[in-house]
């Protein structure tokens, strides 16, 4: 059984009521910030803070890579850290110890940032050192701007401030002051009773959620050295928690060793090789201990032919697979984000100028696997998913991306989502057949595998991830193999969304506990 949903993307135009001239707004906003500075202990006390050593602990959450599309947010880790920050210059040292709750390895690292360069040491003492990814550095320094002890001074340092309409949060009234910094809009919510900042939103694009509010909420204010400091911190994306922490101790103006923020010459001399895109997406990837390396880079788009008219598009951490039909193309997976899907779609169009991409089949809804699907939606590709994932993709199709317009935002059109259930779905051109089978696993309930009966190739994501014919043994490999056997699919080769291809024998061996 199947059904089609047509999602119309309406262009919504918001107009913010203009209240007075820019200068008057700025003066008004400035007065509110000065009032807040006073509540925090006064400008002088705030300015007297030169550095800070913070010890904290907390939990991280994930609302994207959940088993069910749109499922409940779940906790993924506990962590503790020591952060030494310079409050005058962009320098910090972050020593992080995270414990994963799932099967993933623990996340332990040290980051040292000294202005434009940073060091990343992964693992424990003596771990591998590398240059900190420019986007990770930019993201960390952006977070530093909204540190409790600093945000009011950062805001008062802006040339242009905006007063936005007051907001109600949980029944309380807040005054809202906004400013632009390095292309991002910051919005400070000031408690109209205590005058302390309650939260700071950064507006940014998310590949799936579109225009997003990335919020840091402050609580548990305590006076340290004459300055009010929030000891409770909570990060949210569009209201869903990402991280919650309780600060254990704050020490101000400690005497730091002269080399507290020093980055070795060998790392300092390496050329930055990615754009410094500040993004919550990256921090979510770090929290999940998964790759973000290609953000801000332009990896190649490589067509690897794996069978007659079947191409695995490699070059990045996640592949797209193209199946050439008589008069159209079928794509499996639109992963990552627009910065990857745009060059991939462009390369596909150049290679097959007369064949439109008629279908796109996502393997599952996780952010890194579906984040580039809008690039395929913009081409008019029909999205084929199990019933359970229909609403998820409808939301992805509808989400406005006005802050950083992507392909679909620039080329708004109706998106067709074809959902199915009660068996498998077959796509055919009269000659070749493509079978799409739902195969729910503990990894994702909307997981589907794509089977090409003529070549006996099975396309899958995240369970096998073959590298040069090798498959690493893991419990999820067995889950996949059991699923394939239950569906009675006669598979010779598994093609991964990660990695390349492997013979089914190697997959079976890995499922038994060995690698082959």
Q: Look at phi and psi of residue 513 and say left if phi exceeds 0, alpha if psi is from -120 to 50, else beta.
A: left
CB of 465 to Zn ion, least distance (A): 10
Smallest separation (angstroms) from Zn ion to the CB of 367: 9
Binding to Zn ion in span 354-373, by CB under 5 A: 366
> Is there binding between residue 140 and Zn ion (CB under 5 A)?
no
* CA-angle at 135, arms to 133 and 364, nearest 5°: 100
- Residues 144 and 90: their CA atoms lie apart, in Å, by 8
- C-alpha 296/C-alpha 307 separation (Å) is 32
**Based on CB atoms, which residue is closest to Zn ion, 37 or 458?**
458
Least distance between Zn ion and beta carbon 368 (Å): 7
Shortest Å distance, C-beta 444 to Zn ion: 6
Q: How far is the CB of 68 from Zn ion (least distance, A)?
A: 13
What DSSP line would sit under 244-260, residue for residue?
Answer: EEEEEEEEES----TTT
Q: Is the dihedral of CA 63, 65, 71, 72 positive or negative?
A: negative
Q: Which residues pair with 169 in a beta bridge?
A: 172
Nearest-approach distance from CB 462 to Zn ion, in angstroms: 4
- Cα–Cα distances (Å) from 339 to 184, 286, 443, in that order, read 18, 19, 26
Nearer to Zn ion, 241 or 362 (CB): 362
How many CA within 13 A on the CB side of residue 306?
A: 31
Q: To the nearest whole angstrom, how small is the minimum distance from the Cβ of residue 359 to Zn ion?
A: 21
The count of residues interacting with Zn ion (CB under 5 A) is 2
Q: Tell me the CA distances in angstroms from 18 to 15, 24, 73, 164, 318, one per residue in order.
A: 9, 11, 37, 9, 45
Cα distances (Å, whole numbers) of residue 158 to 120, 186, 257, 279, 394: 31, 11, 32, 22, 39
Q: Which CB, 136 or 443, lies closer to Zn ion?
A: 443
Question: Nearest approach, Cβ of 366 to Zn ion (angstroms)?
Answer: 4
User: DSSP class of residue 389?
Assistant: G
By beta-carbon distance, which residue lies closest to Zn ion?
366
Cβ of residue 7: shortest distance to Zn ion, in angstroms?
A: 23
Q: Which of these, 289, 300, 379, lies nearest to 334 by C-alpha position?
A: 379
Site for Zn ion in 458-477 (CB under 5 A): 462
Nearer to Zn ion, 245 or 462 (CB): 462
User: How many residues are there in the chain?
Assistant: 516
What are residue 372's phi and psi, to 5 degrees? -105, 10
Site for Zn ion in 214-233 (CB under 5 A): none
Query: Phi and psi at residue 122, in whole multiples of 5°?
Result: -100, 150
Closer to Zn ion by Cβ: residue 93 or 369: 369
Nearer to Zn ion, 234 or 498 (CB): 498
Cβ-based nearer residue to Zn ion, 260 or 476: 476
Dihedral angle sign, alpha carbons of residues 344, 348, 350, 355: negative
Nearer to Zn ion, 187 or 366 (CB): 366
Q: Which is nearer to Zn ion, 68 or 404 (CB)?
A: 68
Which parts of this chain interact with Zn ion (CB under 5 A)?
A: 366, 462
């Amino acid at each position: 059984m199947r059904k089609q949903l047509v999602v119309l993307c309406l262009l919504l135009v918001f107009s913010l009521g203009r209240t007075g001239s820019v200068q008057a707004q700025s003066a008004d906003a400035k007065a509110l910030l000065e009032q807040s500075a006073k509540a925090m202990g006064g400008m002088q006390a705030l300015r007297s803070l030169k550095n800070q050593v913070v010890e904290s602990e907390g939990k991280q959450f994930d609302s994207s890579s959940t088993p069910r599309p749109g499922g409940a947010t779940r906790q993924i880790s506990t962590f503790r850290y020591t952060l030494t920050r310079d409050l005058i210059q962009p320098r910090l040292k972050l020593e992080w110890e995270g414990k994963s709750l799932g099967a993933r390895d623990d996340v332990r690292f040290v980051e040292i940032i000294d202005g434009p360069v940073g060091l990343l040491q992964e693992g424990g003492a003596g771990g591998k050192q590398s240059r900190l990814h420019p986007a990770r550095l930019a993201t960390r320094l952006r977070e530093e701007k909204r540190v409790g002890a600093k945000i009011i001074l950062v805001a008062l340092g802006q040339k242009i401030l905006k007063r936005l309409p007051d907001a109600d949060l949980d029944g309380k009234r807040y005054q809202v002051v906004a400013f632009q910094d390095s292309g991002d809009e910051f919005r400070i919510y000031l408690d109209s009773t205590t005058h302390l900042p309650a939260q700071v939103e950064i507006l940014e694009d998310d590949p799936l959620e579109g225009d997003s509010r990335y919020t840091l909420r402050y609580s548990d204010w305590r006076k340290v050295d004459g300055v009010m400091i929030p000891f409770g911190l909570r990060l949210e994306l569009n209201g869903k928690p990402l991280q919650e922490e309780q600060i254990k101790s704050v020490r101000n103006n400690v005497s730091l060793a002269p080399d507290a923020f020093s980055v070795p010459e060998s790392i300092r001399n390496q050329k930055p090789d990615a754009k410094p895109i500040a993004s919550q997406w990256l921090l979510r990837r770090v929290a999940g201990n998964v790759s973000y390396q290609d953000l801000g880079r332009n990896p190649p788009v490589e067509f690897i032919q794996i069978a007659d008219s079947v191409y695995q598009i490699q070059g990045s951490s996640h592949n797209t697979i193209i199946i050439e039909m008589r008069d159209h193309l079928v794509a499996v997976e639109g992963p990552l984000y627009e910065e990857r899907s745009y060059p991939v779609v462009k390369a596909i169009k150049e290679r097959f100028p007369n064949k439109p991409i008629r279908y796109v089949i996502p393997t599952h809804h996780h952010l890194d696997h579906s984040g580039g699907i809008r690039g395929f939606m913009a081409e008019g590709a029909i999205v084929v998913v199990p019933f359970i994932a229909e609403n998820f993709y409808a939301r992805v199709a509808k989400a406005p991306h006005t802050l950083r317009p992507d392909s679909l935002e620039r080329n708004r059109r109706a998106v067709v989502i074809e959902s199915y259930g009660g068996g498998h779905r077959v796509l055919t051109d009269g000659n070749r057949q493509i079978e799409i089978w739902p195969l729910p696993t503990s990894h994702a309930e909307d997981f589907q595998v794509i089977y090409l009966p003529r070549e006996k190739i099975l396309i899958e994501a995240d369970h096998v991830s073959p590298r040069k014919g090798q498959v690493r043994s893991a419990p999820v490999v067995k889950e996949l193999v059991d699923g394939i056997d239950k569906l009675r699919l006669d598979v010779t080769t598994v093609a991964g969304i990660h990695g390349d291809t492997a013979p089914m024998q190697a997959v079976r061996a890995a499922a038994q506990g060995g690698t082959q």
